[in-house]
A and B are shown apart, each in its own frame.
Chain A
């Protein structure tokens, strides 16, 4: 933002390589974190429970997906299936009497193993074929969940999540569920930001840019892609489990259908591929803008400004959502992260236009 780079001179590699080398950015992140921590004390239950909580969890899911799609360049159109595997296995593990903390890890591992099995099948191909293969995976996993009564509890059944405690704190009230989601999203964000600074992260970027070229410089494409699928599916699985325990509290297969996969990809793309800020902005945008605009349309219709039928209002979210995807791809393919970046760059030298970068 305003002159945040002024007076920042790194004299040691150590300080230049920090996660946020610019003090202003560090303070901004800390401020946002503090805001998120105290949010339960000044937000009403409605805003906390039905906007902020799902936003945080979907951000974690979008970050897991953007690690695969943005950083490693592997397209995945079945990520909701991965989350479903995580959600269902965590619930069944807890019902078996496994402590919640271990059940979360178990959910992640199950999702990661199944996810990378499909990944392995799909790794011979890339681009469009990878899209199709992961899409087939989505349908297969959906079918297995619905048709195996041991998993879904019978057709058309909802599976209630048992009450659990996380690190000795019972997760039953809204506030405790919120903090559970917050802890997870902070962990995912830190992991995502740090992975780019490791050799593994650089290998992922090399694979994304050109896998043959990466193989030439000594990166094993198959291994790297597989680990990318594993890591991303692990995080997706745990996000699914958190989503089930902290937000839905009763899961049905429809909550993880193909449309949800598309929604996740839309979050990643609208936010900006491979960007942490983009994960948060994209998830918030895709979740909240259709709700907001639908409410606006319903309000306008209710006030008599425009005349539309109830049937049309019911379909408005779908239209807005489709139009959003098309609009972003046409006018800002790099997503909200790029818009955010542009604004920050503009204000960096404001009001001196001449040195705008």
Chain B
């Protein structure tokens, strides 16, 4: 029973950290309809950036702030240089462009900064928190809390003036133009925000598993979160993250001993497949109604 509770709690906390990665996907999809398959690579680059800045001797707090600014700029730059030229192209082109970006970044980051995993110490400490008989991973706890905070901030952000503009753009590009909203700038801002989410996710995951290229593999659970929660819903990211995290912790916790490991990817794949078969637009997503 304690084992089960431990799996649930730690799974939920990891799930929250997955949702932080997924947030970068949803923000962009919501505003521009672009599936950002480079989300994992952006998380990796964000973590590398913070590590690089702090390796120059800057305090961690300052380097995270600087990293946020740099990644915001990088997000804007990617949108301006690459994605804006793909407007109106078929979805396969856009998907492949973001995948190309992911491959490029996966080469650039470890290539320029070294492939060996880099430690990123947030000063959290490794000792688990013990509640009764349950062991809770301390960095997961802080990561989960921060993820919750970020998602809450994102939800609040969509109630501000700029957020309202973004929501208008996600509803309809042409009508947003008609009422004087700069669609290009709104999509750019959403890429910048995705960059910020990427730094947050990168720092948290980097402190858990070290900074190297494997951070970009967070893309896969993030996709499961996004598909399950609904591809254009912030609330869906939260719920989807919790479900993916818990299932991805409980099922391997019991099944791994029988089949010999690695079931987490299977659970993630099955979540994607079953969601797509049963309810393609996810729990909170908007159903696509196609015009003939």
Contact = CB atoms under 8 A, between A and B. Distances in A.
A146 B115 CA distance: 26
A147 B260 CA distance: 7
B276 A132 contact: yes
**Interface residue tally of chain A, by bracket?**
35 or more
B5 interface: no
Contact of B265 (A122, A125, A139, A312): A139
B272 A136 contact: yes
Contacts of A312: 111-112
Contacts of A132: 223, 227, 272, 276
B103 A322 contact: yes
Interface string B248-292: 000000000001111101101110110011001000000000101
B104 A146 contact: no
B108 interface: yes
A155 interface: yes
**Interface residue tally of chain B, by bracket?**
35 or more
B107 interface: yes
A325 B97 contact: yes
A333 B89 contact: yes
Contact of A69 (B92, B276, B292): B92
Contact of A311 (B89, B115, B277): B115
Nearest to B227: A132
Provide the main secondary structure of the chain A interface: helix
A213 B290 CA distance: 12
Interface in B88-123: 89, 91-93, 95-97, 99-108, 110-112, 114-115
Contacts of B280: 124-125, 129
A206 interface: no
Nearest to B261: A147
Contact of A265 (B96, B112, B220): B96
B162 interface: no
A15 B244 CA distance: 60
Q: What 3 A-B pairs are tightest by C-beta distance, nearest first?
A: A322-B104, A315-B111, A325-B100
Given A131-B35, A329-B89, 18 more contacts: A128-B95, A133-B272, A133-B273, A136-B270, A139-B268, A147-B259, A155-B260, A212-B292, A262-B99, A266-B100, A273-B92, A311-B110, A312-B111, A316-B111, A317-B107, A318-B107, A322-B100, A325-B99
Interface of A: 69, 75, 121-122, 124-125, 127-129, 131-133, 135-137, 139-140, 143, 146-147, 155, 210, 212-213, 262, 265-266, 269, 273, 311-312, 314-326, 329-330, 333
